[in-house]
């Protein structure tokens, strides 16, 4: 298992982590037992980085992880590095989704997350989305105080622009930035990868397998209909699902020719983009996890990497990566 630092001077973790949004049913039905089986398989494979958030199932993902961690109470420490997030909330008057980066909100939500996880401290705490009412320098100072209080080991931001990262890093080192990145979604190539490499910030790629499109079993219309996130996402709705399955078929063909699962090549490609790269795919299947782990254990040769990029050139995907509603919050920078 490839291991990398989670930020400059940060702890060394498996370059492949577990994105635990899948534990909350975003991509289909899931059980506590099934999620725990994934975590058991992760440990067996040397995976020790779990990424979750307070809004994944309104705490369900954290509760499932917390239940798993109870096994290690009083046994000398837990076997995972835990990351969680906060700032997405609801307007108390309208119920509309909004963002709160105030010190009071972030610390209160962190405290609730710690309780659900059964921990006194998490290794990494992200601001899930920027709140335009609060300057990022002020938010960074808030997060630095949480380190001083011993509640978090380090902090990061999710879906921010390179300029925002540079502003935050001028106040305090930023351990990680989380962003969608895969052969399907390449926006971070336009400045974010470069800023992370320069600043020593880890770039933690979520959805590195393109929400299942970059696998041997891409989503079917039935699976999309059962997944709350996918059934309103432009790349998986209308005719775009069939278009994207067809457009991604050359990667599946290449994987078969090379003797690898398609998801293995997708993970290996993401991790080949630089030493700051990490990947946190979500899965509900211990078997599928093994394909992902293989991607973090292989050295992707230059010829194979070039062929992967030739088969899936930049801009091949049909449809926007988010719906209009899903796109509220992530920072645009290109």
Catalytic-residue membership of 260: no
Q: How far apart, in whole angstroms, are the C-alpha atoms of residue 305 and residue 301? A: 6
> Per-residue b/e over 15-32, b at no fewer than 16 CB within 10 Å?
bbbbbbbbbbbbbbebee
Q: How far apart, in whole angstroms, are the C-alpha atoms of residue 114 and residue 5? A: 23
Q: Which residue is catalytic, options 56, 126, 260, 322? A: 56
35: part of which helix (H) or strand (E)? Answer: helix 32-44
Q: How far apart, in whole angstroms, are the C-alpha atoms of residue 84 and residue 128? A: 9
Q: Would you mind telling me the total number of residues written for the chain in this entry?
A: 334
CA distance readout (Å), 62 to 24, 52, 90, 166, 190: 9, 7, 19, 30, 33
Q: How far apart, in whole angstroms, are the C-alpha atoms of residue 236 and residue 319? A: 8
**Sheet with 152-158, side-by-side order of all strands:** 18-19, 49-51, 81-86, 122-127, 152-158, 176-180, 202-206, 277-280
| Chain center to CA of 244 | 22
Q: State the catalytic residues.
A: 56
């Amino acid at each position: 298992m490839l291991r990398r630092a989670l930020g400059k001077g940060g702890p060394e973790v498996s370059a492949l982590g577990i994105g635990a949004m899948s534990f909350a049913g975003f991509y289909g039905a899931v059980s506590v037992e099934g999620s725990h089986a994934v975590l058991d398989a992760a440990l067996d494979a040397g995976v020790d980085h779990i990424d979750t958030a307070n809004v994944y199932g309104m705490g369900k993902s954290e509760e499932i992880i917390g239940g798993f961690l109870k096994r290690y109470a009083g046994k000398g420490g837990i076997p995972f590095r835990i990351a969680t997030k906060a700032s997405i909330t609801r307007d108390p008057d309208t119920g509309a989704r909004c963002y709160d980066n105030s010190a009071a909100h972030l610390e209160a939500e962190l405290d609730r997350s710690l309780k659900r996880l059964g921990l006194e401290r998490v290794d990494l705490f992200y601001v899930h989305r920027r709140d335009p009412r609060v300057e990022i320098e002020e938010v960074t100072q808030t997060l630095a105080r949480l380190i001083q209080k011993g509640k978090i080991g380090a902090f990061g931001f999710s879906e921010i622009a390179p300029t925002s990262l540079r502003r935050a890093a001028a106040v305090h080192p930023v351990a990680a930035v989380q962003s969608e990145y895969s052969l399907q979604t390449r926006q971070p190539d336009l400045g974010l990868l470069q800023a992370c490499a320069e600043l020593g910030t880890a770039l933690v790629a979520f959805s590195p397998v393109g929400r299942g499109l970059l696998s041997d079993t891409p989503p079917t219309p039935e699976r999309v209909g059962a997944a709350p996130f996918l059934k309103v996402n432009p790349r998986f709705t209308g005719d775009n699902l069939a278009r994207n399955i067809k457009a991604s078929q050359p990667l599946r063909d290449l994987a078969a020719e090379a003797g690898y699962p398609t998801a293995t090549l997708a993970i290996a490609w993401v991790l080949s983009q630089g030493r700051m790269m990490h990947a946190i795919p979500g899965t509900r299947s211990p078997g599928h996890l093994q394909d992902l782990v293989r991607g973090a254990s292989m050295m992707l040769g230059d010829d194979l990497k070039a062929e992967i990029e030739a088969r899936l050139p930049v801009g091949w995907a049909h449809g926007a990566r988010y719906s209009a509603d899903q796109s509220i919050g992530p920072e645009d920078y290109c």
